[in-house]
Each structure stands twice: as structure tokens, then as C-alpha cells.
Amino acid sequence: MADKLCAIGQAITLSPGVELPSGENEHRLVYIASGAAKLLVQESPGTPRAGPAATSSGPARHVMGFHFPGDIVSLQRRGEGGSSLVALSETDLLVFSADEFLDVAQDDPAVLRSVLIKSLESLQRTRTRMMRLGHQTARQRVAGFLISMAKRLCGCTHGECEFVLPMGRGDIGDSLGLTIETVSRQFTDLREEGLLSTSGRSLVALPDIDALKNEAGA
């Protein structure tokens, strides 16, 4: 089974800032083997972005979320709300055509079922996150973001923790519906309260994740 799946998967390595080539207008499933990536939505369809210097600028970036090794991402390229995947660091991917994947998986209902369950769970998580975006303050969003990163990047859910954030403040802000400046100010506040410390731009340490959770709660 795994052999058959691997046979139709295409291994790709992306350098930081590079977008996964969009192939045809087909629905794809991407398994992230290593690295880190952000999932974007195309707001403006007319963004050629021909040059190699895709400095991630542009009129309206919209980061939907971040993905790390082990994640499976569904990439739908349906005109307006189409999504794309951009590497944050050196990233290894395994790309499947959704159709081919399902054809192969069809022989094994258990696989199909587990993918379905996984995607329903993902839906639930996204819903919960959506609801929160509508009702939380900047502080709660940033605290929640840090907790989530601690969990996903080094598996920590309690006590202290240290990790490298692969994305910049701008991407964090976009994913939380905040501006760069607001994210930075929240970082500063948390730093002054001893809930966070940083060195360089991307190394962060959380001395007390449980205390942070109090800040993230409603």
C-alpha cells in the first residue's frame, strides 16, 4: 500500500521563499517531510509574479496557516479562493494528485477513512480557530500562536520551551489578522512581563507555557 502511494507521489525540495509550482489546475495533496511552509490564499488573481525575486511582497498577502513535518495539506486551485504553499525554510515535500491518490487509496477503505477523519478533524480545528479570530484580542491571538508553535515545533505543552520561529513577524501578523506593528508590540509586552524572551529575530523562549495559556484564554 505505502509502496503504491509512494509511486505516485512526487518528491520536491523548496528553498526559503519559493512557492510550490502550481502545476495544472488540479486538486493536490501535499505531505510535508521536513522544513516549514505557509499556506496562502490568492486574493488577487492577476498577480503574474514572473520574476525570481518573489520577495513575498504584493498588495494583499493572506497567510492561512503554517505547516510542519507530518502535516498533510490539501491544495485546491479553484480560481479565486485557490491556495498555494510557500516554503519558509529548506523544505522537502511529497506531492500527490488528489485524484490519483484517491484512486489508489480506494482499494483500501481504511486509508480513505483515515484521511476523511483527518480532514474532518482539520475542519474542526479550522472552525475553532476561525471563531477565535473573530472574538479574541491581539494579546490572546499572539499568546495562542506562541503556545501552538511550542506544541508543533518542539512538542511542549507545559513548563518551559525554546524554539526557532521559521516565519517573520509579517507572516505571523497575517495569519492572526494583525499588523506587523501590533505583533511586535505584543511581543514586547510579553517580554516585559517575563512570559517570553527572544534572541536574534527568530529564536524565542517561553519560560512558562502554562502562564501563557492564561493569557490566551477567552
Partner DNA sequence: CGATCAATTGACTTAGCTCAAAGCATGTGG
Partner DNA sequence: CCACATGCTTTGAGCTAAGTCAATTGATCG
**Footprint on this chain of a second copy (rule: CB under 8 A):** 27, 39, 41, 43, 60, 62, 64-65, 74, 76, 78, 81, 83, 98, 102, 106, 109, 112-113, 115-116, 119-131, 133-135, 176-178, 218
C-alpha cell at 8: 505516485
- The residue ranges of DSSP E strands in 142-217, in sequence order, are 161-164, 197-199, 203-206
- State the maximum Cα–Cα separation within the chain, in Å, rounded to a whole number: 56
Determine, following the binding rule CB under 7 A, whether residue 188 of this chain makes contact with DNA: yes
Selected from 111, 162, 187, 207, the binder of DNA by CB under 7 A is 187
Other C-beta atoms lying within 10 Å of the C-beta of residue 130 = 9
**Residue 131's binding partner, choosing from a second copy, DNA, none, with beta-carbon cut-off 5 to 8 A by kind?**
a second copy
Spatial separation of the C-alpha atoms in residues 116 and 212, rounded to whole Å: 33
C-alpha cell at 23: 502545476
Spatial separation of the C-alpha atoms in residues 71 and 69, rounded to whole Å: 6
**Residue 184's binding partner, choosing from a second copy, DNA, none, with beta-carbon cut-off 5 to 8 A by kind?**
DNA
Determine, following the binding rule CB under 7 A, whether residue 88 of this chain makes contact with DNA: no
Determine, following the binding rule CB under 7 A, whether residue 201 of this chain makes contact with DNA: yes
Spatial separation of the C-alpha atoms in residues 86 and 175, rounded to whole Å: 14
Spatial separation of the C-alpha atoms in residues 179 and 5, rounded to whole Å: 41
Measured from the CB atom, is 9 or 166 closer to DNA?
166
**Residue 94's binding partner, choosing from a second copy, DNA, none, with beta-carbon cut-off 5 to 8 A by kind?**
none
Measured from the CB atom, is 53 or 110 closer to a second copy?
110
DSSP, collapsed to helix, strand or coil, labels residue 25 as coil
Applying CB under 7 A, the residues found at the interface with DNA are 55, 137-139, 168-170, 177-185, 187-188, 198, 200-202
